[in-house]
Structures are given as C-alpha cells and as structure tokens.
C-alpha cells in the first residue's frame, strides 16, 4: 500500500498541554509518527512517499480564510525573537456575550481556538499545512483511479479542527480537505473510528448533502469533545440525514464496536458513495492512556476487513492513538485488514 507521509510533522513538537488547569506532558508528540512509521516498515508491504511540493491543499474549501491566515501569523510570531526556544501559545479567555469582538492578540487566541490542549508553536503551521498537503495528494491519487487504498501518515491529527478554530490537538482537518477534493467527483462517505467524536468533520459538512459523516466514539457526556457527538445530531438543511453519530458507553469492547460498525456500514452502503475516507484513530485500544475503551489490537484487523467489503476507493488518514507501544501495531492490523 502507498503511504503518503508528512515530512514536516516534527516541526510541531509540543512538550506540555493543559488539562483541567493542570500542566501535563503532551500526548500528541512526534514520537507517535515515528512509532507508526517503524511498525509499517517492519511489517513490510508499505511504500513511503512525500507529497510533491506542487500539491496545493484547498484549505479554504473547508476552513475560513481568516483562521488559516491567523494560524500562519501566530506560528510566525511564536517563533519571533525573545520568545525562548519552544514557546507554547494558549488561549485563556474564550468568546462570550452576544457580539464578541476579537481585536487584540490575546482575544484572537480564544477566537481561533476552543480548548487548552492545542497550543500554537513556531512550527505548528508548517506541520499542519504539510499534513493537509499529504491528504490532498492522496485524494488526487484516488480520484485519478491510481489506487484502491492510500494511507496518509501524518500528525498533528485533524478531525477536531473546525472551519474556524483549532482544538483537540488538531489545526487543519485533513479528512475534510481530502473529502472536499473527492466530492468534486462524486459522493463521499467519511467514517471516523477515533475514540473521540470527529466534531470538526461533522460541522464542516453538516449542511452538505454530498458528504456523509459517520462517527463511532465514546459518549461525549464523559469524553472529549463533550459539546457534540450525540445521536440526535443528524445534519441540517440540505444535509439533513447525512450525519450519523454512534456514541458508545465508556468501557465498550468488541461486541459494542461490532454492532456500531454494522450500523455504520448500513448507512454508508445506503448512501452509495463514490469514495470512502476513514479517519483512523487507534485510541479506542484497551491500553490507550486517554481513550477508556477496551479494544484489543487484533480487532483493528477485523474492523479493516469489514470495511473492505464496501469496495470503494479508500483514503485512510491518521488521527489519534496515544500509547506509543500499540499505535503502530494497530495501524498495521487495520491496513492489513482493509487491504485483504
């Protein structure tokens, strides 16, 4: 299988994050990428390639132009003189009131970011941009009918990134960027199996009838991102009926995932997509430090095998997975399963 890599991922290397007011070691780190790449290389059967420099990700097809410009400018400013070797920029205040105004730099931090897990560092923009570039190149490969399956190995992840805000370790929504390209050629279905709800992807396509978004995740009453991911969120306007959330109780294992995946497949087959995108998080693994689910490594192969039966050109893009020992083997198992 062809693996499209992000050659700039290590530019974004946070050392800490803020959880409930407590400063803790960052979970979303470059070692995740290295762990996956090593596991794929050891397993064999995967070829790695960087996206061509000429690839232009259609960022403003899914993100607001002022957000894209802010991320670029804030990254550059974080790298300015006198800021220390690796400054992290977080918001402390978020928009409130009926007509919030964001005119200064401290207000803009809260305007364009919705949590304290997602700092902006000097290399954030270049790493996120290169990830979106990799996803775009993979989408073009599928659209040109060159491949049946392509895997995008990247970080930071993307599925929590909203049209106008970063959050949940995510800056640009790689799956949405790929979907925006593929939707020019036909209907697209996105299945998000990361343990956290893919809020950004849901909201970006919430009114669009030609992109089906399906997410299997931990019940947001107990798990990030808390404010969305409920079963009654089904799309709006022309997109009504094109969003399906399958929240599962924390502590769910293989039986619950089998049932949810079967429901997801029914909805996807009914939608008759031309292209299929998997937002592949492995943080539902039983040993993930922030997931809370009970999936064994072997189940990821079964999941991939079940999705193979859709028989659609498929783009798999890396999202979460934070146990450095198991994220690589889980990705290998999933890709083996989907390749058959």
Closest to Zn ion by CB, 271 or 322 = 322
Q: How many residues bind Zn ion (CB under 5 A)?
A: 5
Buried b (16+ CB within 10 A) or exposed e, 121-144: bbbbbbbbbbbbbbbbbbbbbbbe
Q: Least distance to Zn ion from the beta carbon of 195, Å?
A: 5
> Which of the stretches 99-107, 184-192, 279-287, 331-339 binds Zn ion when contact is defined by CB under 5 A?
279-287
Q: Select the residue interacting with Zn ion from 28, 194, 233, 302 (CB under 5 A).
A: 194
Closest to Zn ion by CB, 111 or 285 = 285
**What residue spans of 148-296 are helical by DSSP H?**
174-182, 199-204, 254-271
Task: Give burial (CB, 10 Å; 0-12/13-18/19+) of 81.
Answer: exposed
Q: Select the residue interacting with Zn ion from 320, 328, 329, 337 (CB under 5 A).
A: 320
Q: Least distance to Zn ion from the beta carbon of 67, Å?
A: 21
- Asked if 292 interacts with Zn ion (CB under 5 A), we say no
> Which of the stretches 2-10, 170-178, 185-193, 317-325 binds Zn ion when contact is defined by CB under 5 A?
317-325
CB-nearest residue to Zn ion: 320
Please, what's the largest Cα pairwise distance for the chain? 56
Strand partners, 314: 149, 276
* Catalytic residue set: 160
- Asked if 333 interacts with Zn ion (CB under 5 A), we say no
- Asked if 196 interacts with Zn ion (CB under 5 A), we say yes
DSSP-derived letter for residue 165 is B
Task: Give burial (CB, 10 Å; 0-12/13-18/19+) of 97.
Answer: exposed
Crossing angle (nearest 10°) for helices 254-271 and 297-308: 20
> Which of the stretches 127-135, 193-201, 256-264, 307-315 binds Zn ion when contact is defined by CB under 5 A?
193-201
Those residues whose C-beta lies under 8 Å from the C-beta of residue 335, and which sit 6 or more positions away, are 1, 40, 46, 149, 151, 304, 316
Q: Least distance to Zn ion from the beta carbon of 194, Å?
A: 4
Q: Least distance to Zn ion from the beta carbon of 33, Å?
A: 15
Other C-beta atoms closer than 10 Å to the C-beta of 24 total 11
Closest to Zn ion by CB, 156 or 281 = 281
Q: Select the residue interacting with Zn ion from 281, 292, 304, 328 (CB under 5 A).
A: 281
Q: Which residue has the tokens 């922030």?
A: 290
Q: Where on the phi/psi map is residue 172: left (φ > 0), alpha (ψ -120 to 50), or beta?
A: beta
Footprint on this chain of Zn ion (rule: CB under 5 A): 194, 196, 281, 283, 320
């Amino acid at each position: 299988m062809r693996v499209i890599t992000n050659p700039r991922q290590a530019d974004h290397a946070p050392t800490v994050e803020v959880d409930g007011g407590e400063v803790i070691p960052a979970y979303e780190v470059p070692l995740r990428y290295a762990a996956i790449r090593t596991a794929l290389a050891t397993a064999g059967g995967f070829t790695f390639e960087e996206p061509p420099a000429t690839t232009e990700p259609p960022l403003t097809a899914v993100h607001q132009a002022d957000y894209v410009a802010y991320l670029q400018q804030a990254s550059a400013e974080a790298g300015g003189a006198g800021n220390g070797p690796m400054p992290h920029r977080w918001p402390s205040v978020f928009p409130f009131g009926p007509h919030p105004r964001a005119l200064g730099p401290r207000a803009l931090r809260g305007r364009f970011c919705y949590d304290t897990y997602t700092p902006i560092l000097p290399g954030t923009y270049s790493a996120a941009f290169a990830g979106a570039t990799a996803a775009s190149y993979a989408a073009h490969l599928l659209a040109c009918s060159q491949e049946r399956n392509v895997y995008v190995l990247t970080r930071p992840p993307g599925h929590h990134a909203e049209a106008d805000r970063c959050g949940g370790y995510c800056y640009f929504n790689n799956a949405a960027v790929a979907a925006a390209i593929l939707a020019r050629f036909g209907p697209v279905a996105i299945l998000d199996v990361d343990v956290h709800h893919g809020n950004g992807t849901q909201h970006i396509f919430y009114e669009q009838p030609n992109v089906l978004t399906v997410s299997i995740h931990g019940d947001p009453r107990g798990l990030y991102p808390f404010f969305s991911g409920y079963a009654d969120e089904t799309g709006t306007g022309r997109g009504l009926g094109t969003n399906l959330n399958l929240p599962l109780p924390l502590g769910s294992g293989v039986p619950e995932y089998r049932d949810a995946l079967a429901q997801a497949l029914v909805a996807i087959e009914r939608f008759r997509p031309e292209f299929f995108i998997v937002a592949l998080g492995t943080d539902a693994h039983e040993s993930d430090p922030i997931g809370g689910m009970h999936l064994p490594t072997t189940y990821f192969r079964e999941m991939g095998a079940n999705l193979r039966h859709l028989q659609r050109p498929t783009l798999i893009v890396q999202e979460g997975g934070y146990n450095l020992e198991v994220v690589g083997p889980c990705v290998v198992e999933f890709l083996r399963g989907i390749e058959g």
